[in-house]
Every structure is written in structure tokens, then in C-alpha cells.
Amino acid sequence: MNKNLKAVNESTVAGIGRLARFFGFNEVMGRLYGTLLMSPEPLSLDDLAESLKISKGSVSMNMRAIERWGMVKEVWMRGERKKYYEAESDMWQVIRNVLSGREMREVQLALQVLGNSVDKLRAAEEELSPEERELAEFYMARVADLRSFFEFAEMMLQSVLATDEGLPPENSPFELRAWDLDRGS
């Protein structure tokens, strides 16, 4: 294959591998997705193992993981016993899958924990000594800061997730919808 094409392919696969690590996945997951993304035809597990020079077992496990994230789709090839995969080429779909299935969960969990903290502090108020009460107020303030951060994050996520074609809506400069929500500060 032409040297330049090969170079582009390789740097893209490497770059997506890097991106994957950055996003808290492992590098192989990214490289698998990247390899499929840069392949005009679906690839089998063996193709992928060969291409990335990793074991069949690793391909199998990592593919399953990225399949769960909706990054790749199985493709049936007639008269073939092998499984073939292709990348989900709507990158925005992939991003939305990840954001809604992981970052969102994380944010909501954090908000819940912080909510509990506020409740605890309020409930305890009565039984506190003066110094403790001061500390409790200090905690309240810090917890409130954390909340505003997570609420902001939640809004950002909702905005991205609300868009249907993923990309900042074709016409309007981003969805304003979410910003209209009360920020509670």
C-alpha cells in the first residue's frame, strides 16, 4: 500500500488509541475502533489480531467491551463462519453513548452523595457543639461549591446528549436549551 496512506492510517489508529486512554479506556480498545474506522470493509477478529499484532483472546475481550459501548457493530457475511465487525461511523453516536452511560452516571452519583451530605449536615445541626457548628458551616460551603461544579457538568452533558445528530446542531450555535435550567446558585 502507498506509504502515505499507510502513514495516515497508522497515525489515526495511534491517535485514537491515545484518545481512548485519555478517556479512561485502554489503548487497545481505541486501536481496535480506529482500525475498523479506517477500514472500508468489515474486519474479522483474526484480521484485527493480525493488524494490531495482539492475541486473539485480547481482541475478543476488548471487542466485546467496545461493542457494549456501541462503538462497533457486528456484520454478517454470508457463507462465512467468522464474525465481522465494522465501526459505528457516527462518531457522535459513540460519544453520546459514552457520555450518557458513564460520565452521566458518575455525575449523578456525585450529586446524590453531595445531597446526602447536605442532609446529614442539616440533620446534625442540633446536636453540635459551637466549634462543630462552625465546621459544619464550612463543610456546607464546600459541599455547595462541589455541587455547583457537578450541576454545571450535568448541564454540559445534557446539552450534548440532547442534540440528535450529535454535532452542535446544524444551524443554531449549540443548544441553549440546557442553559435555561435553574442553576440553583
Partner DNA sequence: TCATGCGTTCAAAATATATTGAACGTACAA
Partner DNA sequence: TTGTACGTTCAATATATTTTGAACGCATGA
Q: Do 90 and 163 form a contact (C-beta atoms < 8 A)? A: no
The amino acid at 70 = G
**Interacting span for a second copy (CB under 8 A) from 44-52, 55-63, 66-74, 147-155:** 147-155
Among 12, 44, 159, 163, the residue binding DNA under the rule CB under 7 A is 44
Q: Are 113 and 105 in contact, with CB atoms under 8 Å apart?
A: no
Q: Taking a C-beta distance cutoff of 8 angstroms, is the pair 60, 48 a contact?
A: no
C-alpha cell at 34: 480506529
What is the spatial distance between Cα 130 and Cα 122, in angstroms, rounded to a whole number?
15
**Side chain identity at residue 114, one-letter code:** L
Binding to a second copy, residues 27-46 (CB under 8 A): 37-38, 40
Q: What sections of the chain are H helices per DSSP?
A: 3-22, 27-37, 45-52, 56-68, 91-98, 104-124, 130-162
Q: Is 116 in the site for DNA (CB under 7 A)?
A: no
Q: How far is the CB of 48 from DNA (least distance, A)?
A: 9
51 binds DNA (CB under 7 A): no
Q: Does 120 bind a second copy (CB under 8 A)?
A: yes
CA distance linking residue 83 with residue 74, whole number of Å:
7
* Binding status of residue 113 toward a second copy by CB under 8 A: yes
| 145 forms part of the interface with a second copy (CB under 8 A) | yes
Any idea which residue has 446529614 for its cell? 120
123 binds, among DNA, a second copy, none (CB under 5 to 8 A by kind): a second copy
* Residues found near a second copy in the complex (CB under 8 A): 1-2, 4-5, 7-9, 11-12, 15-16, 18-19, 22, 24, 37-38, 40, 89, 91-92, 95, 106, 110, 113-114, 116-117, 120-121, 123-124, 127-129, 132, 134-136, 138-139, 142-143, 145-146, 148-149, 152, 155-156, 167-168, 173-174, 176, 179-180, 183, 185
